[in-house]
Structure formats: structure tokens, C-alpha cells
């Protein structure tokens, strides 16, 4: 049978040795790796943000310090001597030049200018600028109005160097005249001050983040290991539960075979034996009883096969699956089965194929609303090794849009079978059948190392 599919939802897994469950989706290790990568990404982002913010804070603090220095320089150093000069006291310009020159000797202040509101320069550290008149700038007028203004000036109007400097305007009062005091600070000095502040902020902030990550990673690793152990324990518990279920099924099947089946078979033989000794009008009743008893025996035998199939090796597997499809035929579903010659396989592999077919056919009967079902059982290859492929298709409503994982509702049948197939190194694929309906394909290795 050839059945094509669209809209594939695959649960294929790489082949693994028998008895070992592959870590699904990477398991806790993948989660731990994702946690570490996320932590590293967050660290990089926060570090970049910290550097950017610290840069702004450092420069803002450096500019504020320059403004305070300009205010002190103008009010405490220049204003008193300049006021005496404006009042006509001789020799005050020379004294102011000496004081200003000493203050500028360290290179932090590169130029000093005192302005009238009209744009006239009444004093400057560069004598060539004194008495010049330059159109007043907006910053200078704001300083005259009583506001301290600082900005980086790429082309200072009183400098011919063209080198960017920090320009600070601050208000000044001398001889009852409102003036503007202007000081130029070397931008390199501002950079040094900002760098010193950054060197204090960044190590503290980033160091705290690194320490936090160093503390978190061992905790996350411990949690991941605990999850891995719990997953291994859960897998082992599920395996033991399945093995216990197998033993219980086998015991129940044996009890049914040795008890009720044998008893009913004996009743059937006894009824057949006494039929000839009864009056003709009673023989019809005996025939009905014999038929009922034989139907009961057949039902019990099917129940025994459902509980624990007696022989799934070789051709027995195909026969068992065909018998399992009889209830669907009784419900009016046409069953088309294609079972080719099958190689020998381990009991575990045969049991997994049988139970997968059982769950698939049960879903067809309960949910598919189908009129036809196709079963294919044939030898194939998986990863270069010999395997058996089971395909169950129907022309019903197909898989629900919400998916087939209904563990949250307490339905574990398909999930458990998928786990069993994957544990044996096989694959399970759920498709939509072309033309409508569902398609389940399970491929299970033979389990003999072939």
C-alpha cells in the first residue's frame, strides 16, 4: 500500500542502544546551556548599558564640576580684583594677570574672558582680546541673566586654535555691573575626570553582575542534575511498571486460558455429547447453548490475545494484528491488510509493534469516524539496520488540531507507546493521509544487532 502524507508532525529520534532513553530535545543539559547563554547575553547587555550610563554620569559629573570651578574662579578670584580695576585703582590689571596666570599654569583652564552684555570684552587672559567687541552669544546672555551654562565648543569665538574645549559661562557682578564670566577648560581634563569616575563605577557594577552569575550557575547546574536524576528515576519507574504490567497480563491470560476457557470448552463438548440422547424438540435448545458457549470461548480467546498475545514472532505478529482488527470489521469498518514476510525480532520489538497497532486501531474505532482502514506490516531499514515498519491509516477525520499529546487529560496511551518505540531506537511519525484521515508510521529495529 502506498499512502502519501502532508503536514508532517514527526517524533523521529536517533537510534540508541536498547534500554537507554535518548534525552528528548536535549533535556536538562540543553536547558542549562540555554540558561548559561541567556545569562551571558544579559550580562553583555547590562554591561553595555552600564558602560553607557556610567559614561553619561561621569561626563555629567565632570561638567558639573567644571561649572562649579568656573563659578568659584569668577566669584572668588577674578571678580574682587576686576572690581577694583573698574573703580579706577591702578595696577590691578597686572595683579589680575599674575593671579590668572598662576591659576592657568596647571593647564586645566586654558582661557578666561569677562564680557559686558553688549559683547565688549573688558578682561581676557589673552591681552589681545581686551576691548574687542564681538556679537554676544546666546550662552553669554543667559549668563548675564544669572544662569550658568556649559557646553562643548568645537569653534570657540575667542580662540584661533579650532580645538574643541569645554566652555563655561557664569554670571559675575563687579562695581555694581552685571557681567558674564567665561572660562575655557581643556577637554582632555574633562575626559580624565570622566575616566576616573568610570573606573570607579564600571568595575563595581559589572563585578556585581559577574558575581551574581558565578553564584547562579552552580545552582542552575545542581538543579539540572536533579532534574536529570528525576527523569532517569521516572523512566526507570515507567519501565518497571510496564514490565510488571507484562507479567500481570501474562498471568491473567494464563488464568483465563487454564480456567474459564477450558471449562467452557468442556461444557461445549458435553452439550454436544448429550445432544443425541435428547428428544428432538430439545436439541434446538442444546444447539443454541453450544453456539453461545463457543461464542463465549471465542470472546475469551480474543480477550487473551488483547491482554497478552501468545505468539508474536515471525508470522504470528501479522496474525495477531489481523485478529485484533476483527472488532472494527464488526462495526462496519473495512480493513485492508498487507503483511509481508517478517524476519525474526526480539520479543520486546514484537510487543511494541503489536501494542502500537492496538493503540492505533483503538483510536480509529473511537475517534476516526472512518469507513476504511489500512494496515501495512513489512520489513524495512532504519539507520542502515534491519527493522519492521507498521503503518496504520484511515479515511476518517484525521488528527485533532490541538495535537495528540493528551497527557494533561490523563490519556497516556500514545505517549507511552511512542516512548517505548523510541527506547528501542525506533521512530514514530504522525501524518495526515492524502485524501483525508490519519496516518501513523512506526519503525522498530529488529533488536538483534543486525
Could you tell me if residue 179 is inside a domain?
no
User: Using an 8 Å Cβ cutoff, are 112 and 73 in contact?
Assistant: yes
Q: Which residue has the cell 471465542?
A: 298
In a domain, 194, yes or no: no
**Has residue 252 been placed in a domain?**
no
pLDDT tens track for 394-413: 998 888 775 555 444 434 45
Residue at 328 is within a domain: yes
Where b means 16+ CB within 10 Å and e means fewer, 285-298 reads: eeeeebeebbebbe
Task: Tell me which residue range forms the domain holding 413.
Answer: 311-445
Range picked from 191-195, 239-243, 267-271, 375-379 for highest mean pLDDT: 375-379
Q: How far apart are CA 434 and CA 357, in angstroms?
A: 20
- The CA distance from 155 to 161, in Å, is 8
Give the confidence band of 16 by pLDDT, cuts at 50, 70, 90: very low
Task: Tell me, yes or no, whether 140 lies in a domain.
Answer: no
The reply to whether the predicted model has a pTM over 0.85 is no
Domain at 356, CATH number: 3.30.565.10
Q: Which residue has the higher pLDDT, 133 or 435?
A: 133
Report d(CA 382, CA 246) in Å as an integer. 27
> Is residue 159 one of the residues assigned to a domain?
no
Give the Cα separation of 352 and 158 in Å (integer).
92
Residue 125 has pLDDT above 80, yes or no: yes
> What average pLDDT is seen over the chain?
80
Q: Is the pLDDT of residue 20 over 60?
A: no
pLDDT at 407: 42
Q: How many domains is the chain built from?
A: 1
Sheet holding 177-186, edge to edge: 121-124, 109-115, 177-186, 165-174, 149-153
* pLDDT computed for residue 171 by the predictor: 94
Provide Rg for the chain, Cα atoms: 47
Q: Which residue has the higher pLDDT, 2 or 383?
A: 383
For the cut 80, the answer to whether the pLDDT of residue 72 exceeds it is: yes
Is 389 contained in some domain?
yes
In a domain? residue 232? no
Amino acid at each position: 500500500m502506498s499512502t502519501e502524507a502532508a503536514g508532517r508532525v514527526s517524533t523521529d529520534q536517533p537510534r540508541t542502544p536498547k534500554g537507554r532513553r535518548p534525552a528528548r530535545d536535549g533535556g536538562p543539559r540543553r536547558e542549562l546551556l540555554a540558561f548559561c547563554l541567556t545569562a551571558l547575553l544579559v550580562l553583555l547587555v547590562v554591561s553595555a548599558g552600564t558602560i553607557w550610563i556610567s559614561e553619561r554620569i561621569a561626563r555629567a559629573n565632570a561638567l558639573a564640576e567644571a561649572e562649579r570651578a568656573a563659578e568659584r574662579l569668577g566669584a572668588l578670584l577674578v571678580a574682587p580684583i576686576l572690581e577694583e580695576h573698574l573703580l579706577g585703582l591702578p595696577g590691578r590689571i597686572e595683579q589680575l594677570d599674575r593671579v590668572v596666570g598662576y591659576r592657568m599654569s596647571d593647564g586645566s583652564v586654558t582661557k578666561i574672558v569677562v564680557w559686558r552684555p553688549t559683547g565688549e570684552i573688558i578682561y581676557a587672559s589673552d591681552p589681545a582680546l581686551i576691548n574687542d567687541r564681538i556679537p554676544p552669544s546666546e550662552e553669554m546672555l543667559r549668563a548675564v541673566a544669572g544662569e550658568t551654562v556649559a557646553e562643548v565648543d568645537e569653534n570657540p569665538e575667542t580662540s584661533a586654535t579650532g580645538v574643541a574645549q569645554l566652555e563655561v559661562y557664569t554670571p559675575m557682578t563687579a562695581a555694581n555691573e552685571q557681567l558674564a564670566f567665561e572660562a575655557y577648560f581643556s577637554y582632555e581634563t574633562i575626559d580624565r575626570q570622566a575616566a576616573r569616575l568610570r573606573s570607579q563605577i564600571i568595575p563595581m557594577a559589572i563585578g556585581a553582575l559577574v558575581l551574581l552569575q558565578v553564584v547562579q550557575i552552580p545552582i542552575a547546574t545542581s538543579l539540572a542534575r536533579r532534574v536529570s536524576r528525576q527523569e532517569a528515576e521516572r523512566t526507570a519507574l515507567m519501565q518497571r511498571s510496564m514490565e510488571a504490567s507484562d507479567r500481570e497480563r501474562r498471568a491473567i491470560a494464563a488464568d483465563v486460558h487454564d480456567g474459564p476457557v477450558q471449562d467452557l470448552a468442556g461444557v461445549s463438548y458435553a452439550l454436544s455429547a448429550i445432544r443425541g440422547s435428547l428428544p428432538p424438540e430439545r436439541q434446538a435448545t442444546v444447539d443454541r447453548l453450544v453456539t453461545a458457549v463457543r461464542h463465549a470461548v471465542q470472546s475469551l480467546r480474543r480477550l487473551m490475545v488483547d491482554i497478552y498475545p501468545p505468539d508474536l514472532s515471525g508470522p504470528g505478529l501479522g496474525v495477531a494484528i489481523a485478529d485484533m482488527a476483527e472488532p472494527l470489521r464488526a462495526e462496519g469498518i473495512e480493513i485492508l491488510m498487507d503483511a509481508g514476510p517478517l524476519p525474526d525480532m526480539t520479543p520486546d520489538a514484537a510487543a511494541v509493534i503489536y501494542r502500537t497497532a492496538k493503540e492505533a486501531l483503538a483510536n480509529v474505532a473511537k475517534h476516526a469516524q472512518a469507513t476504511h482502514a489500512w494496515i501495512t506490516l513489512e520489513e524495512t531499514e532504519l539507520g542502515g539496520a534491519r527493522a519492521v515498519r507498521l503503518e496504520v491509516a484511515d479515511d476518517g477525520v484525521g488528527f485533532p488540531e490541538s495535537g495528540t499529546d493528551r497527557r494533561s487529560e490523563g490519556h497516556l496511551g500514545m505517549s507511552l507507546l511512542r516512548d517505548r518505540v523510541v527506547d528501542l531506537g525506533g521512530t514514530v511519525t504522525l501524518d495526515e493521509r492524502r485524501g483525508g484521515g490519519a496516518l501513523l508510521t512506526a519503525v522498530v529495529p529488529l533488536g538483534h544487532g543486525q
